[in-house]
Homo-oligomer: A and B are copies of this chain.
C-alpha cells in the first residue's frame, strides 16, 4: 500500500520523536511526491529546562526536518512535562486546529508509553482525528514507537507495542540516521537506549521480520478504504 502522493502529518510530543518513530517514512513520502507536516507539541522550555535549550533543539529539529524533506514544521511551544497542566479541551483544540488546516491522509502519533507527554498527545490526537467531519477524510491513523520510552511500558500491565504495519525504509535508513544525529542534545552514545546504533538495530529488526532490510513499525488504529 503505497504512501505515494499522500499528505502525512506526524504528531511529535517533543523534537526527535518524529525522526525516531517515522524519520524514514517521512523521507520516503517526500521522495514519492507526498507532502509531509510535523507538528511538535511540546518543547524543552523552562521551568524544566534552562533558557536556550529550546532554541537549540528547535535548530536541531529544523536541520533534521530538512534532511528528511519535511514540508512544514509546526512548533506549539508547550513546556515539556507541562502538557497535563493544560485543560484537556485546550490541548485537543490545538491539535484539532492543525488537523483541520492540514487535512492529512495519514496521521502518525506516538504510542502511549512511559512518558506522560506521549500519552497525553496520543489521547488528544485520537480525539482530533475521530472519523467525523474532516476526520472522516483521514485514511490511516497509526502510532509509531519511540525508542527507549515505548519499550519501557510495563509488560502486560500497560499496552505493549507490536507493529501491524511496517514501512520499508531500506533506501532511507541513511537519511534517518543522518537526521537523528542532528539531535546531538538528545542522542546518547552506544550502548545508550536512544543511540544511533540502537535505532538502526530496531529498524533492521522491524525490516527483516517484514520481508526487507530496514523498516519502521506502526500500530494501525484506524484505516479506511
Contact = CB atoms under 8 A, between A and B. Distances in A.
Contacts of A87: 81, 85
* Copies, count: 6
Contacts of A89: 48, 81
Contact of A131 (B136, B157, B205, B209): B209
A130 interface: yes
A213 B202 CA distance: 13
A170 B85 CA distance: 42
B155 A212 contact: no
Contact of A152 (B126, B154, B160): B126
B143 A127 contact: no
Q: How large is the interface on A (under 10, 10 to 19, 20 to 34, 35 or more residues)?
A: 35 or more
A102 interface: no
Interface in A1-35: 1-3
Contacts of A219: 155-157
Interface in A187-225: 190-193, 195, 197-198, 200-202, 204-205, 207-213, 219-225
Contacts of A81: 87-89
A201 B205 contact: yes
A1 B225 contact: yes
Counting from the closest, the 5 A-B pairs by CB-CB distance are: A136-B211, A131-B211, A201-B204, A191-B213, A198-B208
